[in-house]
A and B are shown apart, each in its own frame.
Chain A
Amino acid sequence: MMAGEALKLRFDRIQSVAIIAAVGGLVGSAIAGLVWPSAFFPAYLVGFLFWVGISLGCISLLLLHNLTGGQWGRLIRRPLEAGALTIVPMAILFVPIGFGLKTLYPWADSAIVAADRALQHKAPYLNPVAFLLRSGISFVLWITLAYLLNLAASIRDRKGGQAPGWLYSMSGPALAIVFFTGSFVAMDWGMSLEPDWYSTIYGVMVIVGWALLTFAMMIFTISLLARSEPVASAATPGRLQDLGNLMLAFVMLWAYMAFSQFLIIWSGNLTEEIPWYLRRLRGGWEYVAFALVLFHFFVPFFALLFRDLKRNSQVIIWVATAVIVMHLVDLAWLVLPARGEALGTGPRIPWGALLLVLVTTAGIGGVSIWCFLWGLKRRPLVLEEHPAHRGGSAHV
């Protein structure tokens, strides 16, 4: 089933809006970058981490579904394949961060490093060349995987639903690669904002957050698509419930990671570790933290316990929206307090930078969504069923 003409028109319209958002957001970002770099770069990093997380989440969930199989994947494989492609523009959109290393990361500022013995010892790992090299290698690997996953999808479509064997044999190692590179870049891009601080769970916490964000984004997409055919008849209550259950699992996993880090650092209460939380629990940030506990965990958790809610796409879309919004808040909470002094706001919430987050997120998001819809239009929206699998797909 190809997407109908009406649906294509709708995609085209959203794409035009995405172009406007991309141009407006990126031009606004560029101006902010020139006028107010100390606020622009952290804000841009937040927007970048949000959208690159979705690209990586799409690649990871595709690989995961290749390994596990399951009905939940049938509904979201197309969006996932299109979402995996967005890693290509994200690689280009990484470039501005390369120009802002000195503003963002204390370890990139030679004057700060000269005065800090710990940073001197970390310099062999935390230096601009190594940082850019690690990011570059990661992007090359991710783009390769996104290409292979879409190549396999093309082959599968040509062969009437039979995916090539190498797709399954590469998925295990590839998932490990994405996990490792994801952990490395999470520590580079996010954790090294405060290079004196370290937490071994940080990488996994960020990755799980990205997976949760991607799941919410997929449920959001599917719920919108389910308002018309062909997705309407494919989005059966049973499949939606599977997706809702998986999102519930990721909500719990994210809370587990985030709370574990907090519990360990809170229990230790060490001078090297605790400032990270002090910066994030003062000057207004404590309300943000409280909102995260409430709306990033408790509300979606209790909402997703209800079966009827999960089985109705037009209800679960609200839970997905809440998770998406709260994850942007979470990333802002992770990044912005680190730069409070540079922003001149000290421990208080930097409202200006927070406003800029909306601009950068819109700009990067415009590009990402345009690319996503371009990928989504290339193929039928619903997977053709392979005859051999048809018997086992009974599921309501």
Chain B
Amino acid sequence: MTERVGPKNYCLLAEFATTEEILHAAKSAYAHGFRRMEAYSPMPVEGLAESIGFERNRIPLVVFIGGVVGGSLGYLLQWYSAVVNYPLNIGGRPYHSWPSFIPITFETTVLMAAFAAVFGMLAMNGLPRPNQPIFGVERFALASQSRFFLSIKADDPLFDPNTTYQFLEGLNPYEINRVES
């Protein structure tokens, strides 16, 4: 990940105790104009992803393309080997016996779609990422247990170390941390 900001500010991290609070905070921040945000929660919170502006990602498209490519290549491979490269007479059937090509075509479709899903996901979300500055906040470990966090990244156009801090304070968080990289 490339950080366009200086080595100092990474983000401001606000901690909340309940789903209602994090939802309210996320919506307020979005309404205020912040876009480079991230919300952390120990369990799925209905509407949280939408509230910080997440609509959908391109994974389904990548998977679909992976499936189409896999299926086409699988079929082509069989056609090439059975019709062009090494034609065999099997029970007097035509060389291009499409019904017997279908199972393998299906398999390669699924295989490539799955590869596209996994590697496409890793390429798009930047994982694996063993460390990131936000781990420096000790209480952040609670994001996988009982607490909810909202971070506003320093590369947000509206970000300002002081006014953004004040804005977050207005949302009544349990605690605010300055995260520096």
- Determine whether B4 belongs to the interface, using a CB cutoff of 8 Å to chain A: no
How far is A395 from B103 in the complex, measured between Cα atoms in Å? 36
* B60 in contact with A262 (CB, 8 Å): no
The answer on a CB contact under 8 Å between B102 and A259 is yes
User: By the criterion CB–CB under 8 Å, are A262 and B56 in contact?
Assistant: no
B46: which of A259, A263, A266, A394 is its contact (CB, 8 Å)? A394
Other-chain contact of B100, A267, A305, A396 (Cβ < 8 Å): A267
CA distance A396 to B48 in the complex (A): 11
Q: Is the CB of A263 within 8 A of B60?
A: no
A269-B91, A305-B64, A307-B60 known; A396-B99 Cβ under 8 A: no
Q: Is B170 at the interface (CB under 8 A from chain A)?
A: no
* Distance to closest chain A CB from B144 (angstroms): 20
- Tell me which residues across on chain A come within 8 A of B99, comparing CB atoms: 262-263, 266-267
- For residue B47, CB closer than 8 A to chain A, the reply is yes
Q: A259-B102, A262-B99, A263-B103 are in contact. Are A396 and B56 (CB under 8 A)?
A: no
Among A262, A267, A307: residue with most chain B CB under 10 A = A267
In the complex, chain B residues whose CB is within 8 Å of the CB of A267: 99-100
CB-contacts of B42-75 with A (<8 A): 46-47, 56, 60, 64
Q: How far is the CB of B82 from chain A (nearest CB, A)?
A: 14
Q: How far is the CA of A269 from the CA of B97 in the complex (A)?
A: 13
Give A395's nearest chain B residue, CB to CB. Answer: B46
A-B contact count (CB 8 A): 19
**A263, B91: Cβ atoms under 8 Å?**
no
Residues in B with CB closer than 8 Å to A262 are 99
Instruction: Tally chain B residues at the interface, Cβ within 8 Å.
Output: 11
Q: List the B residue with the shortest CB-CB distance to A269.
A: B91
Give every chain B residue within 8 A of A263 (Cβ-Cβ). Answer: 99-100, 102-103
Distance (Å) between the CB of A221 and the closest chain B CB?
A: 27
Rounded to whole Å, the gap between the CB of A271 and the closest CB of chain B is: 14
Interface bits A259-285 vs B (CB < 8 Å: 1, else 0): 100110011010000000000000000
Q: How far is the CB of B51 from chain A (nearest CB, A)?
A: 12
- Residues in chain A near residue B60, CB distance under 8 A: 305, 307
Question: Complex formed: what's the CA distance from A394 to B64 in Å?
Answer: 29
Please, which residue of chain B has its CB at the minimum distance from the CB of A268?
B91
Q: Distance (Å) between the CB of A170 and the closest chain B CB? A: 33
Once the chains are docked, how many angstroms separate the CA of A262 from the CA of B47? 46
Residues of A within 8 A of B102 (CB): 259, 263
Q: With the chains together, A396 CA to B49 CA distance in Å?
A: 12
Residues of B contacting A259 in the complex (Cβ-Cβ under 8 angstroms): 102
| Beta-carbon nearest neighbor of B100 in chain A | A267
- Residue numbers in B under 8 Å from A269 (CB-CB): 91, 93
A363-396 contacts to B, CB under 8 A, are 394-396
Closest to A263 in B: B99
Closest beta carbon of chain A to B58's beta carbon, Å? 12
**Contact call B91/A396, Cβ cutoff below 8 A:** no
Nearest CB of chain B from residue A278's CB, rounded to whole Å: 15
The answer to whether B103 touches A307, judged by C-beta atoms less than 8 angstroms apart, is no
B117 to chain A, nearest CB (A): 14
- Chain B residues with Cβ under 8 A from A307's Cβ? 56, 60
Is the Cβ of B46 less than 8 Å from the Cβ of A396? yes
| Residues A78-97 near B (CB distance < 8 A) | none
Shortest B44–chain A CB gap in Å is 8
Bound complex: CA of A263 vs CA of B102, how far in Å?
9
The answer to whether A396 touches B47 (Cβ under 8 A) is yes
Residues 11-53 of B, flagged 1 when their CB comes within 8 A of A and 0 if not, give 0000000000000000000000000000000000011000000
Q: Closest Cβ of chain A: how far from B74's Cβ, in Å?
A: 16
Q: Give the residue name and chain of the B residue nearest to A305 (CB).
A: B64
A259 to B106, CA, bound (A): 12
Q: Give the shortest distance, in Å, between A12 (CB) and chain B (any CB).
A: 38
Binary per-residue interface labels of chain B (64-104) against chain A in the complex, 1 for a CB within 8 Å, 0 otherwise: 10000000000000000000000000010100000110110
Q: A394-B46, A396-B46 are in contact. List 7 more A-B contacts (CB 8 A).
A: A259-B102, A262-B99, A263-B100, A267-B100, A269-B91, A307-B60, A395-B46
What would be 19 A-B contacts, judged by CB atoms less than 8 Å apart?
Answer: A259-B102, A262-B99, A263-B99, A263-B100, A263-B102, A263-B103, A266-B99, A267-B99, A267-B100, A269-B91, A269-B93, A305-B60, A305-B64, A307-B56, A307-B60, A394-B46, A395-B46, A396-B46, A396-B47
* Residues of B bordering A, CB below 8 Å: 46-47, 56, 60, 64, 91, 93, 99-100, 102-103
Rank and list the top 6 A-B pairs by shortest CB-CB distance, nearest first.
A394-B46, A266-B99, A263-B99, A396-B46, A267-B100, A269-B91
